[in-house]
Amino acid sequence: MSFTSVAVLGIAALFATFAGFNDAGVLVGIGSGIRGLRPFAALMLLTAAVIGTPLIVGTAVAATLDGRLVPSGSDDGPARAQMLCGIVAAVAVTVSLAARRLPTSLTLALIGGIAGAGLGGRMAGADAGSADWAVVGRVLCLAAAAPLAGAALAVAVGRLLAVVPPAVHGRAGRDGAGRRLQWLHMGGFGAICLAYGANDGQKMLAVYAALLGGEPDRYARSPLAAGLIAGCFLLGGAVGLRRLGPLGGGLAVARQDGVVLTELSSAGVVLGTAAVGAPVSMTQSMSGALVGTGLRRGTRRVRWARVVGLGWAWMLTLPMAFLAGGVGAVIVVSVAF
């Protein structure tokens, strides 16, 4: 294996590690206040879903990120360089915003970085394909709608079904309600894991396929690739668990039953978008669903200042990643090719 191949493999592994660090703390942390599922056990379940779910539902989302946003051309070198610029831009923007306490979506940054790098490579004269703006537009519309859909679904489901009775009398009743809540949380978190593996988590497969060549499905079925992705994601997630805390800095005052409702609603939205191959951020959908659970109990339950701050972070993510990916691709392609 050449030095270049080892370097590219290392970059793909680092991306999977960063994805685990960035996503696991949020996905596991939302239910950390409910007994019945320890954080590390939840992380193991999430990791298993990352490598297992694509084998069941397919790799449509990874294929969208890998080849449909920026169709590959005949020159593999520039195509790989463009994707690398998009990946670096996505990580850099995510880290930069997080350092300013503006948590954002790595998936949204990756979409912007890939599209910008495709345009930048084309401007530099690369024959590696430019952004397919129809696909980019469709993906961005669904990404923008996901938090709103999560909020609307949480409000609707919350009005139709009381997850846990608001008042239970007697010790046996309280114990029964607690056990029911634990089982509902485990079911809700299981749905989160399935949705993440079917959609958001496939960005790691897309990165491996784009940098190493081949179709995402090939890496989903490769024991070596799946093991490497799982190990890197688990390592990053274990470090990210130290950041356990309320989603989005506490967008709403949520009771434990609201957490379960958030899990179920956001999983439904993300699974729906996965069915059409559209990459959607799990954390964005969860944020919208959490706001929806707060609205069920009144507008004062929502911390609007934090919602606005998170919205600004999302709005900044795409143009920043797009610009960084485009500039990086222009420089790299112009110099190296």
Give which of 197, 7, 9, 203 is closest to 94, Cα–Cα: 203
Q: How many CA atoms lie within 13 A of 26 on its CB side?
A: 25
pLDDT at 164 over 60: no
**Sign of the four-CA dihedral 250, 252, 256, 262:** negative
Domain containing residue 193:
3-336
Calculate helix-pair angle for 3-29, 203-212, nearest 10 degrees.
Answer: 170
Q: What is the pLDDT of residues 209-224, one digit of tens each?
A: 888 878 899 999 999 9
Residue 37: the pLDDT is 76
Say what the pTM is: 0.86
Q: What is the pLDDT of residues 41-66, one digit of tens each?
A: 889 999 999 999 999 999 999 998 88
Judge whether 225 and 219 are in contact, CB under 8 Å: yes
pLDDT at 75 over 60: no
> What average pLDDT does this structure show over 230-253?
75
Give which of 196, 274, 201, 186 is closest to 232, Cα–Cα: 201
Count the domains in the chain.
1
Give which of 233, 286, 285 is closest to 29, Cα–Cα: 286
Q: What is the pLDDT of residues 266-306, one digit of tens each?
A: 999 999 999 888 899 888 898 888 888 888 777 777 888 88
